Structure 1
C-alpha cells in the first residue's frame, strides 16, 4: 500500500491531494480552509484534511510530490539571464521561489509538528504536472496532452503524447512568451487588476465587437508550427518580472503591460471607471486572439500526432468559451479537462506522475478516472445539527423555520417547488467540490426561466458585475434537446450554444450571445442533485436549474457553519443542509 501526497505550494490556489495505490482519495484547495480567495503558501490545512479523510498520519505517506522542479530548463534560465540581463528583483524573486520549493520537508515539520514525515520528496516539473493532471486521470488510453498557462518552471506551454501510464513531452513555449501573460495584460489594461480576473474579460467579450483584432495581432504572433510569441514591447515581465507576490496568503501581481499598449489600444481603464464600448471591444478582440492562437496550436498538434482525443490543462484551460469550440474549430473529436485545470490541479498531476514512475505504479495498468469532482470535506448529520444549534438564536431572529426531511424524494420535490416559486436556495450536500466550480454540492440554485433572476441574485447575494453570466446545470440525458452538443461536461469547463428555440425558456442562464457554460449531471455522478433537477423538470418542463457558487465574495463555503453564515447575512430564501431545510417565513 503506497500513499502519495501531491502539493501545489507557495503559489496561488495552493492545494493538496492524497493518492493511494493509483486512486485518488481526497483533494482540496487551501483557500477553502483559510477563507482567503486563491490562498497562496503551504497547504497545511488541506494536507491535514487529506490525511484525516484517509485515516492515516503523515508517517504513512511514502512520497510527497510538488508540482515544481527548480532544475527544469536550467540552462535556458542561465542563458536568458546572461543574454537579457533582467532586473535584480526578477532574479532574486526566482531564487526565493526556488528555495521555498526545495524546502518541503522543513515546511511539513514546521506546519504539522504533531506528525512525522519519513518519506521521499519529489519535485515534478510544472507543465509535466499539468499534463499528468489531465491525462493520467482521463478516460483515454492515448491522447494528445496540452498545457497552456502563464508561466511555470520557465515555460508557458507544453505538449506531447499520453499513452497508457506515461507522458512524453516533445514541445514547449518558453519564457518570456505566454498566452496567459497576453490575456492577463489585457485583463489589467481594461481595469480588472486582481489575481484571477481573466474570467471577467471572457464574460465581457460577447458584449463587444472585434474592432481591435488587428491590434491584437501586434501583441501575439502566430507561427505555422502552432507556437506563438509576444511582442515584448507591450509587456514588462521579460525585464522586470510580473511583480507577483503572496502577502498574508493573498496573491497579487503588479502591472505587466507597458506604455506602448496605450499607444496601440488607447487609454487604459482605471478599475473604478465606467466600462465603455471600447473596453468591451478590446475584450472581444482579446478573446478572439486567444482562440486563434489556441486553435492554431491544436490544429498543428492534430496534424503532428493524428489522434482524435485531447486533454487540456494549465490556467488557460479555464477559458471555457474556447474549450466549447474545440469540436468546430479543430479536428479533435474527444476532449477531457479535469475540474481543477489550473495550478491546484498540478497537485494531482505531480502525485499521479510519481505513482506511475514507481516500480509498483509503472507496472500497473492505469485504472482511475476522475469522472466527478467531489473530493473535499463533508459534514455528518451530527455536525450539521451542532452548527444549527450554535446559531439557533440568529436563525430565530431571522424568522426562519427549521425542519428535517429524511425522505430524499420529498426533500428534492420541496426544494424544486421553492426554486419554481422564484426563491433562492443554498444547497449544501456531500463532499466539497475540487476546483473553482460549484457543481451541485456547495451551490446556490435558482429558476433559470426568470429573466430577472440574474438581477435578483446580484441584489440578494452575489453583488457582482452585471455582464457576468450564471451557469445552467442540466440532466445529461436532456443535453441534445437544449444545447447544440451531446457531450459530457461534468465540470462546467465548456461553453456551448443553447438551441435558438430554447433560449427564451431559460433567459437567466443564457448569455447575451446565446451560449451557456453548462454542467451535465448524471444519476451516478451526483444522485441527489440529479433527483432535484429531475423534480424541477417534472414540475416545470425545464430539466435545468441555475447554479452558482455558494459564497458571497469569499471562497466557496466548506463547512455547515460557513453555509449558515452566508445564508443569514444575505437575503437567501432557503438553506438545505443535508436533510435539514431552513426557510425564511414570509
Structure 2
C-alpha cells in the first residue's frame, strides 16, 4: 500500500494501522548514499546506514536498491511494507535524474553518466509516489530528530546544498513550504538581498539557520547562497571549484593536499603539525616532525565580508609559494628542483604524495601542506564561530549539522564559546544524516524515536559463521572474555591491540565501541604501529580515546557528555595517555555512559582496563585495515580485515609470534612453521574463492567473490592477488581439495617446475596465510 505525502499537511491515513508499515528516508545518486527505515505506526527508527558499508566503497553514492533490501530484511520487512518514501539528491533533482533514466530505458539506450540503468530502475530504488526534501532542511530535521530536540536552533554548514530553483519547485518539501519563509534573511555571497526573489535559480545553499518550536514546527531564519558557473549535470568537484561555502573552501584544500574532496578530517589532523618545531620535543609526546617548520601566510582563503563570506582560492597558491620561500635553502632548492623550478606546481592536487621518490623534496612539500592546513582550519574557525554564536542567541539549545559539523576542532571551539547553552552534534552530521531527515518528513514530521542511535545498522548474531576458523588464534574459553581482552590491551611486556566487533554497526563516520580497534593510550609508540602496520595510512594522523563518562571532566574539562567523538578538547594528562594526545595535547574523546545498554560490554572492558592500569580511557580507532576501506560491516568482513592487518604487521615488523591452533597440535614457532610447515604435508588444500579470473601472464588473479557480500572488486580494487612466481600460481591452480599437499609437491617437482618439495610447502603456507586456500587437514 502506498501513501503519498507530497502536499503540505498531508497525513498518513489508514496505512498507519498496519503494524508492519515503514517509511524510508533516502539519500542517493550523490556521495554518502544512505537509507533509514522508520516504523510508520510509532516513529521508531529501525535502521540507518550508509551504502559504503555494504559496497565497501568509501563515501559511495549512486542507487540504493541493494541497501534498501538489506535494510528491510534486517528489520523483518519487505518492499510491500513501505508506505512512504522521501529522498534527496542535492546534485540534481531525484525526479529529474530518474525521469532521464526512464526515458533512456524507453529508447533502449544507456544513460551517458551516473550509475548503471538497471540499478536506478531497480524496484527497490525507484519508488512511485516518493517525495523530495531540500538538502539543508533535511539536514536540520534529521539532526534535531537524532538528538531528540523538540525545540532548538539548527545551524547547517556544508559544501553544497540544493539550488534555489529547488525551493521554487512546489513538488519539493523545502524551506519555501515552511512558515516564516517570507521573513527569512537571505545573503548572496557577502551581500544581503531584499528577498529570495533576488537569488538566482542556479545559486546553491551554503549555510542555513533554522528554528524549531515544539508547537509551531520548523522556521527558516537565515540562509546564505553562492552563485556558481557549473551546470547541474556536472560532478560536485566542479561545483566546489566555484562555490563560496565554508565547506567547499575547506574541501578544496583537502583536494589540493590529498587529492580527495572528502579528506577534510586529514586536513584537520595535519594542521597542528605546522606548530611543531623541527625535531619534535616534549610537546609532541615523543612524536618527531621530519620536515622543516614554516609559518602560516597572512593570505586569506576565507574572509568575513559584508553580510557573509568571501572565498579566494587563489590564496591557496599564494600560501604555498610563500611557504616554499620560507624553507631553509637546501629544502627549498630540493623542492623547486623536484617541481620543475616552480612551486606550487601548475596542477594543484595530491601534493602529499607528489614527491615520494625524493625524501627531501617530500618533507619540504609536506611542511608547506601543514602550513596550508593550519591556515584553512584557523580561518574556518574565525568565520564559523561568530556565525554560530549569533544563531545561538535565539535559543539555549543549538544543533550543528552538515559536513562542517564533522570538524571536531571547530565544534570544541564553539562549545567553549557557548557559555551556558547546550550544544548538540549528532553521530551522523554529514550527508548520511540527510536520510534521517527525509524519513521524518516522509511521515509528515512525526516525532522520531531515535533510541537505537548511534548503533542503527544491522546486527549480526551468528558469531561463528565467518568461515575463517582455521586462521584464527583461538584462546581457551574463559569465564570473563572481556577481562581477558582488557588484560591483553593492558599488558606492558607485549603490545596488545584488540579488534572489537559487537552488535549493530555505528551510524555515522566514527567507531564508537561496536566496530573498533583498541589499544593502550599509555603506549606512545602504538600510534605509529596502528597508522603504519594496522591501517597503512599517513603517520601524522591522531588517534582518539573512549573515556568513562564520570572521568571526562577530570581528564578533558568537558562541560557535558560527548558520546560521538564530536568535540576536540585539551587533554589534561597527555604524558599519561600520549597515544591519544595530538601534538598540541588536543584530543577527541568519546564519553561512555553507564546508562547506554548498547555499550554495556564496551564500558565493562574500559572499567576492567582501568582496574588494571589506573587509566579510565582506551585508544579507540575505526575497524578498517584494507586500502580505502570503510568501517567493517559484517562479521566475515571484520575477520577478513583483521587477518589482513595481521599479515601486514608481520611483514613490516617481522616478529616471531606463536600461533595457537584449534586442532590438537603442538604449538610451533612461526620461524619453524615458515621453514617447513609440518601441517602442510598432511593437508588437502582447496581454493577458498570460486569466482576468479587469471591475468594474462598467469601470475595474478582477480577475485570476484570477496568476503563482503556486496563488494564489487572492480570498484574497490581489492580483488587483485599477485603470486610470488609461477610455482605458487601452479600450486593455487592444483588446490582442488582432492590432491594432497604432498601429491602437489611431488607433481611439481616431477614436472621440473619446483626443485624440492620444500619449495612447494613454503609457497603453500604463504597462500594459506593470505587466506587464499584452506588446508583441510
TM-score range, shorter chain: 0.7 to 0.9
The 5 Å alignment of 1:183-332 reads: 183-189=250-256, 191-209=257-275, 211-212=295-296, 214-216=298-300, 219-223=301-305, 225=307, 227-231=308-312, 267-268=343-344, 269=351, 271-273=353-355, 274=362, 275-303=365-393, 305=394, 307-331=395-419
Please say if residues 297 and 319 of structure 2, whose CA atoms lie closer than 8 Å, have aligned partners that are also in contact.
no
SS at match of 1:283: helix
Please say if residues 61 and 119 of structure 1, whose CA atoms lie closer than 8 Å, have aligned partners that are also in contact.
no
CA positional deviation for 1:402: 4.5
Q: Which residue of 2 aligns with 1:391?
A: 468
The answer on 1:345 being equivalent to 2:426 is: no
With structure 2 as the length reference, what TM-score do the two structures score? 0.61
SS at match of 1:384: coil
Please say if residues 510 and 516 of structure 1, whose CA atoms lie closer than 8 Å, have aligned partners that are also in contact.
yes
Q: Which residue of 2 aligns with 1:457?
A: 530
Q: Which residue of 1 aligns with 2:630?
A: 555
Q: 1:168 aligns with which of 195, 200, 219?
A: 219
The answer on 1:16 being equivalent to 2:35 is: yes
The answer on 1:28 being equivalent to 2:49 is: yes
Q: Which residue of 2 aligns with 1:73?
A: none
The 5 Å alignment of 1:124-163 reads: 124-153=133-162, 154-163=204-213
CA positional deviation for 1:109: 9.0
SS at match of 1:13: coil
Rounded to whole Å, the distance in 2 between the matches of 1:379 and 1:534 is: 25
Please say if residues 9 and 101 of structure 1, whose CA atoms lie closer than 8 Å, have aligned partners that are also in contact.
no
Please say if residues 62 and 120 of structure 1, whose CA atoms lie closer than 8 Å, have aligned partners that are also in contact.
no
CA positional deviation for 1:505: 0.7
The answer on 1:411 being equivalent to 2:490 is: no
Q: Which residue of 2 aligns with 1:244?
A: none
SS at match of 1:156: strand
Q: 1:486 aligns with which of 542, 559, 571?
A: 559
Rounded to whole Å, the distance in 1 between the matches of 2:481 and 2:611 is: 15
Rounded to whole Å, the distance in 2 between the matches of 1:546 and 1:485 is: 18
Q: Which runs of 5+ in 2 are unaligned?
A: 1-15, 106-115, 163-203, 227-242, 276-293, 325-342, 345-350, 356-361, 650-657, 661-668, 670-777
Moved over 4 A (4+): 94-98, 101-119, 259-266, 402-405, 583-586
**Cα–Cα, structure 1 residues 431 and 270, in superposed 2: closer, same or farther, change >3 Å?**
closer
Please say if residues 101 and 121 of structure 2, whose CA atoms lie closer than 8 Å, have aligned partners that are also in contact.
no
Rounded to whole Å, the distance in 2 between the matches of 1:133 and 1:316 is: 16
Please say if residues 85 and 127 of structure 2, whose CA atoms lie closer than 8 Å, have aligned partners that are also in contact.
no
Rounded to whole Å, the distance in 2 between the matches of 1:347 and 1:506 is: 37
Rounded to whole Å, the distance in 2 between the matches of 1:232 and 1:213 is: 14
Please say if residues 147 and 314 of structure 1, whose CA atoms lie closer than 8 Å, have aligned partners that are also in contact.
yes
Please say if residues 27 and 46 of structure 1, whose CA atoms lie closer than 8 Å, have aligned partners that are also in contact.
no
Rounded to whole Å, the distance in 2 between the matches of 1:7 and 1:55 is: 19
SS at match of 1:140: coil
**Whose strand fraction is larger, Structure 1's or Structure 2's?**
1
**Cα–Cα, structure 1 residues 504 and 167, in superposed 2: closer, same or farther, change >3 Å?**
same
SS at match of 1:277: helix
Q: Deviations over 1:528-567 (max 9, x none)?
A: 1011101101111111110011111311111111111112
**Cα–Cα, structure 1 residues 393 and 100, in superposed 2: closer, same or farther, change >3 Å?**
same
Q: Which residue of 2 aligns with 1:520?
A: 591
Please say if residues 63 and 119 of structure 1, whose CA atoms lie closer than 8 Å, have aligned partners that are also in contact.
no
**Cα–Cα, structure 1 residues 341 and 104, in superposed 2: closer, same or farther, change >3 Å?**
farther
The 5 Å alignment of 1:359-508 reads: 361=446, 366=447, 368-369=449-450, 372-380=453-461, 383-387=462-466, 390-395=467-472, 400-405=473-478, 407=479, 410-421=480-491, 422-499=495-572, 502-508=573-579
**Cα–Cα, structure 1 residues 149 and 321, in superposed 2: closer, same or farther, change >3 Å?**
same
Q: Which residue of 1 aligns with 2:200?
A: none
Please say if residues 7 and 17 of structure 1, whose CA atoms lie closer than 8 Å, have aligned partners that are also in contact.
yes
Moved more, 456-465 or 311-320: 456-465
Q: Which runs of 5+ in 1 are unaligned?
A: 70-93, 235-256, 575-582
Rounded to whole Å, the distance in 1 between the matches of 2:314 and 2:372 is: 18
Q: Deviations over 1:316-366 (max 9, x none)?
A: 110000001113234562111111111111000111133244xxx3xxxx3
SS at match of 1:37: coil
Rounded to whole Å, the distance in 2 between the matches of 1:425 and 1:232 is: 43
Rounded to whole Å, the distance in 1 between the matches of 2:119 and 2:648 is: 44
Please say if residues 489 and 519 of structure 1, whose CA atoms lie closer than 8 Å, have aligned partners that are also in contact.
yes
Highest Rg: 1 or 2?
2
CA positional deviation for 1:59: 1.8
User: What is the number of residues matched between the two proteins?
Assistant: 505
Rounded to whole Å, the distance in 2 between the matches of 1:68 and 1:281 is: 35
CA positional deviation for 1:276: 3.4
Please say if residues 58 and 116 of structure 1, whose CA atoms lie closer than 8 Å, have aligned partners that are also in contact.
no
CA positional deviation for 1:367: 5.7
**Cα–Cα, structure 1 residues 558 and 293, in superposed 2: closer, same or farther, change >3 Å?**
same
Q: Which residue of 2 aligns with 1:3?
A: 22
SS at match of 1:28: strand
Rounded to whole Å, the distance in 2 between the matches of 1:338 and 1:104 is: 34
Determine which structure has greater relative contact order: mean sequence separation of CA pairs < 8 Å that are 6+ residues apart, divided by chain length: 1
CA positional deviation for 1:53: 2.4
Rounded to whole Å, the distance in 2 between the matches of 1:38 and 1:279 is: 24
SS at match of 1:416: helix
Q: Which residue of 2 aligns with 1:577?
A: none
Rounded to whole Å, the distance in 2 between the matches of 1:17 and 1:96 is: 19
SS at match of 1:276: helix
Rounded to whole Å, the distance in 2 between the matches of 1:110 and 1:286 is: 39
CA positional deviation for 1:47: 1.2
